[in-house]
Amino acid sequence: TGPSLHGEGRSNCSGVEVTSTLVVGCTDGTKQYAVASVVQWLQTSHNVTIAPKNVYHFDDRESNIVSFAGTGFNAIQVSCETRQWDGSVGLCGAQESEISVKDGANRCHAG
């Protein structure tokens, strides 16, 4: 499901149709829309209700974390210690210690 389902370029995920828990191709800063659509799809198609406070998104880019602020969902930035030279992209994936339950939008170095 998602804008890049068949290899297309990435695009804004606001209003994208979701038919799976895997959504591919959302541009940075729009992944919160895909998450909301997945939660809605689970409720509508599978009668599975997940409260927003129980939803977690993990991402290496700060722009994909701050966009979750105020949504009721939780987002945690990962790959905090292994960053690209300019700090924008995490390298080598998340550390096990970064996968945790924290409320809100949590950046590597908030401030």
Nearest Cα to Cα of residue 64 among 77, 51, 50: 77
Contact yes or no for 27/13 (Cβ under 8 A): yes
Tell me the pLDDT tens digit for each residue of 10-54: 899 999 999 999 999 999 999 999 999 999 999 999 999 999 999
Judge whether residue 92 has pLDDT over 70: yes
Q: How far apart are CA 15 and CA 85, in angstroms?
A: 34
Per-residue model confidence (pLDDT) at position 104 = 95
Q: How far apart are CA 39 and CA 17, in angstroms?
A: 12
Q: State the pLDDT confidence band at 110, using cuts at 50, 70 and 90.
A: low
Q: Residue 69 corresponds to which tokens in the numbers above?
A: 């602020």
